[in-house]
Chains A and B, each alone.
Chain A
Amino acid sequence: DTAVSQTPKYLVTQMGNDKSIKCEQNLGHDTMYWYKQDSKKFLKIMFSYNNKELIINETVPNRFSPKSPDKAHLNLHINSLELGDSAVYFCASSQDLGGPQETQYFGPGTRLLVL
């Protein structure tokens, strides 16, 4: 069974379009994250939700809007896509928020290419 899954795996779209990426975890974790990995492999956190509540919101354009319908899902909607949004987007989840046992588990990534 896949612990953290993302759909789609690949996404190619035109500038100006709106797209969504979905993430689901079956680990029973309370916290989920979205990361962006650029072409130089730099990995930066974008958002984090704990029990459907937003707890981390980095300096991300407001074209990006996360939505957590329940603890097991964290979706990312992107409006008016730009060339600079091309990257790999990773979803992750964890338990024991902030504690020593907390470990993040990552999804396989969604490769977004904006043309």
Chain B
Amino acid sequence: AQSVTQLGSHVSVSEGALVLLRCNYSSSVPPYLFWYVQYPNQGLQLLLKYTTGATLVKGINGFEAEFKKSETSFHLTKPSAHMSDAAEYFCAVRGSGTYKYIFGTGTRLKVLA
């Protein structure tokens, strides 16, 4: 069985500051991991994903995430926050060979001017 925990339902950062959104997962099979972003009144958009290979994954809009098997984590980072990054962020897991996605409860990112 898979599950996802996102620590912090709300995160506030100043514009230009580091963004760190935390995601921990559990999976009984090798996981595929995803980060999605949801802007107000819109659907989810894929930021990045980890399947196999390099554990540091780069995504769109300057975001990246590192898969750490020993810590069962897949935290999302961005070196410098921009006002346009304000949105809801979802971490998701899917077991390899399965097609069911499990989503975390989301983290709302607020960027302060």
The residue that A109 contacts in the complex, of B43, B45, B88, B99, with Cβ under 8 A, is B43
Q: How large is the interface on B (under 10, 10 to 19, 20 to 34, 35 or more residues)?
A: 20 to 34
We find that the number of chain A residues with CB closer than 8 angstroms to chain B is 27
Interface residue stretch chosen among B12-20, B67-75, B76-84, B90-98: B90-98
Contacts of B88 in A (CB 8 A): 41
| A residues in contact with B38, CB < 8 Å | 41
Closest to A6 in B: B43
- On whether A90 and B43 interact (CB within 8 A), knowing A42-B106, A43-B90, the answer reads yes
CB pair B42 A108 closer than 8 Å: yes
Residue of B nearest to A44 (CB): B103
Q: Are B43 and A98 touching (Cβ within 8 A)? A: no
For B96, list chain A residues within 8 Å (CB). Answer: 98, 100
Closest to A50 in B: B99
Query: B3 within 8 Å of A by Cβ?
Result: no
Whole-angstrom distance from the CB of B103 to the nearest CB of chain A? Answer: 4
A-B CB contacts (within 8 Å), total count: 58
B32 contacts which chain A residues (CB < 8 A)? 100, 102
Interface residue B44 (Cβ < 8 Å from any Cβ of A)? yes
Q: Which of A4, A40, A90, A98 sits near B105, CB closer than 8 Å?
A: A40
Q: Is B103 touching A43 in the complex (CB atoms < 8 A)? A: yes
Residues of B within 8 A of A (CB): 32, 34, 36, 38, 41-46, 49, 51-52, 88, 90, 94, 96-101, 103, 105-106, 108
Interface pairs (29), CB distance under 8 Å? A4-B43, A31-B99, A41-B106, A41-B108, A42-B105, A43-B44, A43-B90, A43-B103, A43-B106, A45-B100, A48-B99, A50-B99, A56-B100, A92-B44, A94-B99, A97-B99, A98-B97, A98-B99, A100-B32, A100-B96, A102-B32, A102-B94, A103-B46, A106-B44, A106-B45, A107-B43, A108-B42, A109-B41, A109-B42
